[in-house]
């Protein structure tokens, strides 16, 4: 009786997980000279998230080699990117599109735990 019940719980659990991946958590990120808002986000390892990037002024970059992110954020346009980090750690995305004098300080932290 108990194993059958467990089986039922597991089979109900599975579609739930698939559904979560189809409707991932959406995180809005705004770029503006010379920073990102929010400037730190925390993700769970293996979690699918959708980042929605917009710019409030000029074109910025959003680059992070370890997570294979290489996007351009163009004013008036929303750049969407789906991410599923498989490695825990603290990562720093940079703006790799020259946007002004403090361009080199334009960074955002992604924590994967």
Binding site for Cu ion (CB under 5 A): 60, 95, 99, 106
Nearer to Cu ion, 48 or 59 (CB): 59
Q: What angle do CA 100, 65, 74 make, to 5 degrees?
A: 40
Burial bucket for residue 23 (CB in 10 Å: 0-12, 13-18, 19+): exposed
Task: Name the minimum Å distance from CB 75 to Cu ion.
Answer: 11
Closer CB to Cu ion, residue 1 or residue 101? Answer: 101
Joined together, the tokens standing for residue 62 give 């959003």
Nearer to Cu ion, 43 or 71 (CB): 71
Q: Whole-number minimum distance, CB 19 to Cu ion, in Å?
A: 36
Greatest distance between any 2 Cα atoms in the chain: 69
> Could you tell me the smallest distance in angstroms from the CB atom of residue 106 to Cu ion?
4
């Amino acid at each position: 009786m108990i194993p059958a019940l467990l089986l039922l719980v597991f089979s109900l659990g599975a579609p739930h997980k698939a559904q979560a991946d189809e409707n991932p958590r959406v995180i809005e990120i705004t770029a503006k000279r010379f920073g990102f808002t929010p400037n730190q986000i925390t993700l769970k390892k293996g979690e699918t998230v959708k980042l929605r990037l917009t710019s409030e002024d000029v074109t910025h970059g959003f680059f992070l080699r370890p997570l294979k992110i290489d996007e351009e954020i163009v004013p008036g346009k929303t750049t969407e990117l789906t991410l599923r980090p498989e490695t825990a750690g603290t990562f720093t995305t940079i703006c790799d599109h020259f946007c002004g004098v403090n361009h080199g300080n334009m960074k955002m932290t992604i924590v994967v735990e």
